[in-house]
Amino acid sequence: MDRGYEVLSESGKNPIKAWTVGVPFEEEAKQQLKNLAGLPFIHKWVAAMPDVHRGFGATVGSVVPTVGAVIPAAVGVDIGCGMIAVRTTLRAEQLPDSLGAVRSAIEAAVPHGRTDNGGRNDRGAWQDAPAAHREAWAHLKPGYDAIVAKHPRLGRGPELGHLGTLGTGNHFIELCLDEAGAVWVMLHSGSRGVGNRIGSHFIELAKEEMRRFFIHLPDADLAYLPEGTVHFQDYVQAVEWAQEYAATNRRLMLESVVRALGAPGLLPPFGLTDAAVNCHHNYVAREHHYGRNCFVTRKGAVRAREGDLGIIPGSMGARSFIVRGKGNAESFHSCSHGAGRVMSRAEAKRHFSVEDHARATEGIECRKDEDVIDETPGAYKPIDAVMAAQADLVEVVHTLRQVVCVKG
Question: Is the Cα torsion angle 119, 122, 127, 132 positive or negative in sign?
Answer: negative
Cα 42 to Cα 48, 54, 57, 58, 80, distances in angstroms: 14, 19, 16, 13, 22
Alpha-carbon distance 187 to 224, whole Å?
A: 31
What's the pLDDT tens digit per position in 176-229? Answer: 999 999 999 999 999 999 999 999 999 999 999 999 999 999 999 999 999 999
Residue 358 lies in a domain: no
Mean pLDDT calculated for residue range 365-387: 93
Confidence of residue 386 (pLDDT cuts 50, 70, 90): very high
407 marked as binding residue: yes
For residue 256, tell me if it sits in a domain: yes
Q: What is the pTM of this model?
A: 0.96
User: Does 333 carry a binding-site annotation?
Assistant: no
The reply to whether 141 falls in a domain is yes
Residue 367 lies inside a defined structural domain of this protein? no
Task: Give 314-331 pLDDT, tens digit per residue.
Answer: 988 889 999 999 999 999
> Is 139 part of a structural domain of the chain?
yes
Q: Is 320 annotated as a binding residue?
A: yes
Q: Give the active site residues.
A: 337
123 by DSSP, 3-state: which?
coil
Query: What's the CA gap between 362 and 277, in Å, rounded?
Result: 28
The residues near 20 (Cβ < 8 Å, ≥ 6 apart) are: 5, 6, 48, 50, 52, 389
- Residue 150 marked in a binding site: no
Residue 210 counted as domain residue: yes
Q: Answer yes or no: is 77 within a domain.
A: yes
Instruction: Give me the number of domains the chain comprises.
Output: 1
Q: Which H or E run includes 199?
A: helix 192-212
Residue bearing the bigger pLDDT, 266 or 275:
266
Quote the crossing angle between the two packed helices 230-261 and 100-109, to the nearest 10°.
140
Residues 6+ apart with CB under 8 A from 77: 195, 196, 198, 199, 200, 203
Instruction: Note whether residue 158 is domain-resident.
Output: yes
Enclosing domain of residue 251? 6-342+380-407
Instruction: Answer yes or no: is 339 a known binding residue.
Output: yes
The DSSP line for 167-182 is: -STT-EEEEEE-TTSE
Q: Domain with 260 in it: what CATH number?
A: 3.90.1860.10
